[in-house]
Each structure stands twice: as structure tokens, then as C-alpha cells.
Amino acid sequence: MLQRALGHTGLSVSRLGLGTAMWGTQVDEHEARDLLGTYVDAGGTLVDTAVMYGAGASEELLGRLMGEVGREQLVVASKGGFRAGPDGPVRDTSRRTLLQNLDTSLERLRTDHVDLWQVHVWSDAAPVEETMAALDQAVTSGRARYVGVCNYAGWQLAQAATWQRAIPGRVPLASTQEEYSLLNRDLEREVLPAARSTGLGVLPYSPLGGGVLTGKYRTGTPAHSRGAGRLSASVDRYLDDHGRAVVEGVARAADGLGWTPLQVALVWVRDRPGVTAPIVGARTATQLKDVLGVEGLTLPPEIVAALDDVSGD
């Protein structure tokens, strides 16, 4: 798999990342082992998790499996920014909580450092300078090699990135992780320009729109799909008239190219200007092999223009 630099850094990652949000809950250890092995065998390096995924089950499972493929082969990314509350996780980007999250992640992952550590969400629980100071401390202490943010609005991203570059000695941000697909192009308005101007790589998550762009919901909701379970809200929002038009456009492009809709939708995101690596969350090795099949594919410019048109506001 081809590698790309993560923003203006010396860190290279594969141009498709492996997401583990379902590991330990919807993906058991046997399936996770197959996923990780298949991904690494294909040349994949970037594996993304978070302290809150599966209440810690994702990191624990990844930590058990990393030794089997070789920790040195992986670019391990995790995230912090939550603490336990009486009604579930609470956003908290204070230095205390963030560094506690990091130590918890390292223990679960059975490693002394993560390659990319990210603030999972923006929060008003702490000023941006305190949040960024936690990232500085993570790097200077050797517990993280690079740092980034997730789910920041354009102005938030610009503020954080500019703050880190304002004074020598602060650790510059490497990346931002945001939702991005043919069904959700919101980040193009402000986030992508902010990332481009501050030298950050972009790691899109949900590049297939919760699976909607694969075409699986064109004639109904499959029994064991995300749309039929507790994550149905992430799918339902794309099953409107606009979403159906986009899916039909993707299907027509796939038919014309002899590709699958998955391949069309994923290659579109992967090759957008400013994107470093979409994060894909396959549940089985069979699904992942379909995803990895896009490696040698490139969309013709006229198809890209048609998809841009049908998916635009």
C-alpha cells in the first residue's frame, strides 16, 4: 500500500487506515486478529483507536494483538478527552483528564508510546491553551510521537494549530480527524481550508457514510447491518432524498467502471486534496479485503466531476 506523509511531518502512514471502534464489542478477538493480519499483509500501517471505544475494549484487544504482527510495523493512533460521568462519558479536555486518558491507553495497548495521540473532541471544560499544553507534555515525556485533534470546527482547528506554532518549543499539530464522505462534505467549507493553511493532514472517518454508500440500503435495511442496530441514527440521516440521489450516482458510476459502489465512494474520499488516509471500520476480513481492493484504482476526472455535482449542496 502506498504511503503518505501526515501533514507537514516526517511521519508516513498508509493511505488507508484501519479503524477499531467496534473491536471488543461487535468484533471479537478472532475477527480482530484476522482484520489486523489482513491489513498488515496488504501494507497497511495506520491503526486508529480511542480510550472510549468499547469502554476500553478496543485498546485492550489491539494491545493483545499488536505483538503478533510486530509493534514496529504499526502507526498506532489513539484519542483522549473523556472522563466517566454518572450518565456516561463526559467531554473533558483538561490537562488532568487528557494525561490520565493517555496513561490508561498506554497500559491497555501494552506500549510505552503511541505514534499519534489526538484530542477526541472540542470541549469548553478547559481553555485551548491548557488542552494544547497536555499535547506538549505527551510528546516531551515520550508518551506520544505526534499529536492531532478530532471533530474541531474550522475556527477551532485554526486557533489550536496557530497557538501551537506561535511560540518555539510547542509541538505543532500533525493532523485532524473528521467525518467526510460523498454524503457529508461539510468539512470542505472551513475545516479543509484551515487544515491546508496550517499544514495538517486530514484523516476522514466514516468515508462510506455508515455503509450507505455501498448501496446496501437501496432496497431496504439488511437484518444485521448498522442501520438495523443501535447505530441506526448514523445511517437514517443519509436515507433522505439527497442521500438516495448520491447513492444512485455512485451506483451508476460503479456500473460504468465495472467497480463496486464501495470502491467508487472510497477512492473519491482517499484522493481528495488534503486527505492523508480515510479510516475504514470493517467488521470482517472479507469486508476489509473488499476495501483494500481499491489500492490500484483511480477515478477518471469526469467521474469525479459528476460525483462532485450530485453530492454538492
pLDDT at 137: 97
pLDDT at 87: 87
Strands 82-85 and 88-91 come out as antiparallel
C-alpha to C-alpha distance for 277 and 258, rounded to whole angstroms: 24
How would DSSP label each residue in 83-96? EEETTEEEE---HH
pLDDT at 246: 96
C-alpha to C-alpha distance for 284 and 196, rounded to whole angstroms: 34
Among 141, 157, 62, 67, which Cα is nearest to 99's?
141
Strands 88-91 and 114-119 come out as unpaired
Among 252, 283, 254, which Cα is nearest to 266's?
254
Alpha carbons within 13 angstroms on the beta-carbon side of residue 203 total: 32
Alpha helices in 54-209 (DSSP H): 57-69, 95-109, 128-140, 154-166, 191-198
Check 53, 146, 205, 217 and give the catalytic one.
53
C-alpha to C-alpha distance for 174 and 147, rounded to whole angstroms: 6
Query: Residue 258 region, left (φ>0) first, then alpha (ψ -120 to 50), else beta?
Result: left
pLDDT at 199: 96
**238: annotated active-site residue:** no
Cα–Cα distances (Å) from 91 to 87, 98, 121, 142, 242, in that order, read: 12, 10, 7, 25, 32
| pLDDT of the chain, 313 residues: tens digit per residue | 999 999 999 999 999 999 999 999 999 999 999 999 999 999 999 999 999 999 999 999 999 999 999 999 999 999 999 998 888 889 999 999 999 999 999 999 999 999 999 999 999 989 999 999 999 999 999 999 999 999 999 999 999 999 999 999 999 999 999 999 999 999 999 999 999 999 999 999 999 999 999 998 876 565 455 544 455 667 889 989 999 999 999 999 999 999 999 999 999 999 999 999 999 999 999 999 999 999 999 999 999 999 999 998 7
C-alpha to C-alpha distance for 111 and 17, rounded to whole angstroms: 20
Strands 3-5 and 12-14 come out as antiparallel
pLDDT at 228: 44
- Going along the chain from its start, the domains and CATH numbers come out as 3-208+269-297 (3.20.20.100)
pLDDT at 155: 97
Residue 300's CB is within 10 A of a number of other CB atoms, namely: 11
